[in-house]
Amino acid sequence: MTDHADEPVEDHDDADVRGAGPRELDPQTRARRERAMRLVRSFGDPVLRSRAVVVDRVDDALREEIARLGQVMLDSLGIGLAAPQVGIPHRVLVYRVTADSPVIGLVNPAIEWAGAEAEVQEEGCLSLPGVALEVARPIHVRVRALDGAGQEVVIEASGLEARVIQHEVDHLDGVLILDRVSREARKDAMRAMREAELERETTAA
């Protein structure tokens, strides 16, 4: 998920939840982000529409996977990333909603409760570059998962944290923000993606 918010990590550009417009990055950060973005699967890749597989063992290999996923998220200036977005079909996600917070990895996350109160906020997605959509989601959720040590954790999340978790759990179920909006908004988003792709091709030519 991308950061377009006023409160989370401040240097995100096209991050995985809420959408601030592009901003100038120093050359080193931009190069690092471009390398990371080459690892992120884009709209049209079938892995983004597949339901991820439940992880049956938390071991060193999985912990390395979580660490790599977290690094891609940070380098791409995202605030959340799900394993399928880098082509790994596991039910694993990572997120960090503030610059001074540690990266949190969740294995087999399940939203076991969502509050009745919802709000609409703009979300972006690393797999949908150039797209920002107004998405309605519950403000409060309770999530049960395993951590990187294989211990069960229960997270009571609100606001941006709740939104990021819901966005990434959607990825684990093959759901994109395009599926959470009206047909008209989806058509506009598809047009924006086509225009962004044409612009990238023109720039590269």
DSSP element (H, E) containing 133:
strand 132-138
Single-letter code of the amino acid located at 130: G
Closest to 140 in 3D by CA, of 168, 120, 114: 114
Burial (CB < 10 A; 0-12, 13-18, 19+), residue 11, is: middle
Query: Using CA atoms, how far apart are residues 184 and 50, in angstroms rounded to an integer?
Result: 24
Whether 156 is a known active-site residue: answer: no
| Cβ neighbour number for residue 179 with a 10 Å cutoff | 12
Closest to 142 in 3D by CA, of 162, 160, 159, 117: 162
Sort strands 132-138 and 118-124 into parallel, antiparallel or unpaired. Answer: antiparallel
Active-site entry in 7, 122, 168, 197:
168
- What residues act catalytically? 168
